[in-house]
A and B are shown apart, each in its own frame.
Chain A
Amino acid sequence: DAGITQSPRHKVTETGTPVTLRCHQTENHRYMYWYRQDPGHGLRLIHYSYGVKDTDKGEVSDGYSVSRSKTEDFLLTLESATSSQTSVYFCAISEHRVGQDLRQPQHFGDGTRLSIL
């Protein structure tokens, strides 16, 4: 199994509070992704990173920010959590050796279940 650790695994917080989720990998993969999973929607991309300090938006990025100061860590921050951000969040990594190699699969962490009351 790919070495991906997400923390925390579960979190309950209140509307308006900041929340940071962490993804840590031991595979030295260049690409890292944050997805959210909601019933009826499958998984949708929030943000991704293609290297240290190199990040970009996904399709549902509003209300989220990310940072990647080291190859192994990718942080997702909800600056002011809202109830609509209650979801299960997954981190994924992918080894694109040269540029963007779409043949490489993504490997997923076990997820963070976030509830915002």
Chain B
Amino acid sequence: AQSVTQLGSHVSVSEGALVLLRCNYSSSVPPYLFWYVQYPNQGLQLLLKYTSAATLVKGINGFEAEFKKSETSFHLTKPSAHMSDAAEYFCAVSSYNQGGKLIFGQGTELSVKP
């Protein structure tokens, strides 16, 4: 069975500080991993995806994530937080069952302080 765990339901950083959102996965097969962002009253927007081509993946809005198989992790980072980054972030893995459904973590709400 596949699963995703996001450590920390709330993360608060100051503007200009490093953003680190943690995601660990469990999968008995090679995983395909995604990070999505959700702004209030909106749907989920794809930030980036890992599909085995490169372990360091760059996404939109200056975010990137590194796939570490030995640590079963796919943490999301951004060097310098901006006020507009305040949102909820979801890590997800593609399932080999049920039409390739996404299995989501519980989400991490990012707050950015001025």
Contact = CB atoms under 8 A, between A and B. Distances in A.
Interface of A: 4, 31, 33, 35, 40-45, 48-50, 56-59, 90, 92, 94, 96, 100-111
Interface of B: 32, 34, 36, 41-46, 49, 51, 90, 94-96, 98-102, 104-107
A35 to B, nearest CB: 8
Contacts of A45: 98, 101-102
Given A42-B104, A48-B99, A56-B98, A103 B44 contact: no
Given A31-B99, A102-B94, A105-B49, A41 B43 contact: no
B interface secondary structure, majority: mixed
Given A58-B98, A103-B51, A43 B104 contact: yes
Nearest to B42: A110
Contacts of B45: 108
Contacts of A105: 34, 46, 49
Contact of B100 (A40, A41, A100): A100
